[in-house]
Chain A
């Protein structure tokens, strides 16, 4: 009879610090992310939020601290101590990364179907019809017209490329998705639809996510918890609604106050 095990965090950041030359990009960041949680990191440009995200996602190596991840079936791992092979495999299967610029997260030279099917093919899918079927299925889920399956992302609008990037990431059923300003640079109405889509997918698929944004409206809509960064440090954190409705730190108050009422 096994002892009751406490649930453990999906992702833990311990004292993450990253410098570029003499400049401190982020300093001593700590948090735990639980399964099904969406954590938002907000701040202005230069606050260090993107650097932090890249350290968490294994794209940058922090100068100090560690990122601990609970894998699906292989226990807990320290992301930056993994071999490159295992880290790359992780990013292709259990994780997703949605870039602000969809072009960085897509193969622009191949069709939408190929883009979505790649993760499946990378882990051994060998039936063209089935791969195509899965890709078509996901195209529908991200609300792109089915007849665009064979079109290349170069012919897609910015919003469509972003949806495609989302589909490409989610097709492998990841447990954790990192998002860097997923709606940045898109028209307001397009943004709204994509946010809606993301919220639906996150709920339905029980995804955990770390979301970086400078837009407090995006944070309000998508995140459960929020960390506010300024000058590389986390100056406030808590439940999203609490932080946004009752900001304690002067900087947070300033951020909240400067949202233009629409």
Chain B
């Protein structure tokens, strides 16, 4: 005799115990500390902060630990926490010209004022597994040079813009950009909103879309005008003071893309811009974001917009990996009632088709017999 299965509540409780146990793993091994994650898995922390829209290395490290290394899960944790935080206001826009850069390169020019500073990068490593990393050992510190390139690096883009070769940066607006964490996304979306969406967007998704433009799906002839990575101050104007104070210093990666544009009858040809920004050291994300930003400007720049990366609704509606992960994985939830409805329909239709075929056969048999 079938008995309805109950016990969902107990099952959930046990499930939570199980994942906590698995997360800890072998008790003979040292438990990961947040400091270790922050330091030694720093690029993961950078990504979680960027897509979690929250600059806090410790919280991001905690999220990674709690998610046992699943970065999208960690991003979800951080965002959910962020929702509960009280807000004091908005900072002033970051002035990346004031960045103390650890790394700054331009692909468009052989040399630039302030110099090409290679800094820390995986770009020229040989991807050979280094087995010396398999055991803990003393690692030598890197020698440092005086930071003479560190201050006041002018943006390469500004130099081009002064000549009129590159469209100027959009003028600063006094209007506060809409906040995607507070308001729903609407279309058409203006550029500040699109950039916000892309900054929070999944790196893999943007990478694929950016890649697609390079392969011909909406190519916009990109050149890296500049990539810079380093720390910038965050300025805030408290109401009581009425002037700006620096409340923090954060690491960001910025990418200025330079793209081709055909001039029109009235406008002499100019290069156009794409822009990418990420927390921490995240060049792949910043470049991909700049490629997609530029692709989404197709409508504004009166270019044909028929590739996926140029399709605003397609890109912006699907870039959020927390939304995507939730909906994709929700398919695991019980759907047996909807499925039951479908079963009823399919069975009825099958019965009708079979009945028709049966009738047709009988008719044919009769017709044959009659001959």
A204 at the interface (CB under 8 A from B): no
A23 to B265, CA, bound (A): 8
Distance between B199 CB and nearest chain A CB, rounded to angstroms: 33
Residue of A nearest to B263 (CB): A21
A22 at the interface (CB under 8 A from B): yes
B266 at the interface (CB under 8 A from A): yes
Report the interface size for chain A: residues with CB under 8 A from the other chain. Answer: 3
- A interface secondary structure, majority: loop
A22 to B265, CA, bound (A): 5
Residue of A nearest to B265 (CB): A22
Distance between A15 CB and nearest chain B CB, rounded to angstroms: 22
Contacts of B265 in A (CB 8 A): 21-23
A21 to B264, CA, bound (A): 7
Once A and B bind, how many residue pairs between them come within 8 Å at the CB atom?
7
Residue of A nearest to B267 (CB): A21
Contacts of B264 in A (CB 8 A): 21-22
Contacts of A22 in B (CB 8 A): 264-266
Distance between A25 CB and nearest chain B CB, rounded to angstroms: 13
Residue contacts A-B, CB under 8 angstroms, 7 given: A21-B264, A21-B265, A21-B266, A22-B264, A22-B265, A22-B266, A23-B265
A14 to B346, CA, bound (A): 59
A22 to B266, CA, bound (A): 7
A23 to B266, CA, bound (A): 11
Residue of B nearest to A22 (CB): B265
Residue of A nearest to B264 (CB): A21
Contacts of A21 in B (CB 8 A): 264-266
A21 to B263, CA, bound (A): 10
Contacts of A23 in B (CB 8 A): 265
Distance between B266 CB and nearest chain A CB, rounded to angstroms: 7
| Chain B 244-273 residues near chain A, CB threshold 8 A | 264-266
A19 to B35, CA, bound (A): 63
A22 to B268, CA, bound (A): 12
| Chain A 1-42 residues near chain B, CB threshold 8 A | 21-23
Distance between B241 CB and nearest chain A CB, rounded to angstroms: 49
A251 to B110, CA, bound (A): 56
Distance between B21 CB and nearest chain A CB, rounded to angstroms: 51
A21 to B269, CA, bound (A): 14
A21 to B266, CA, bound (A): 8
A23 to B264, CA, bound (A): 10
Residue of A nearest to B302 (CB): A21
Residue of A nearest to B266 (CB): A22
A76 to B265, CA, bound (A): 37
A250 to B167, CA, bound (A): 46
Residue of B nearest to A19 (CB): B265
- Fill in one digit per residue for A220-232: 1 if any B CB lies within 8 Å of its CB, else 0: 0000000000000
Contacts of B266 in A (CB 8 A): 21-22
The 3 closest A-B pairs by CB, nearest first: A22-B265, A21-B264, A21-B265
Distance between A84 CB and nearest chain B CB, rounded to angstroms: 15
Distance between A104 CB and nearest chain B CB, rounded to angstroms: 14
Distance between A17 CB and nearest chain B CB, rounded to angstroms: 16
| Chain A 200-216 residues near chain B, CB threshold 8 A | none
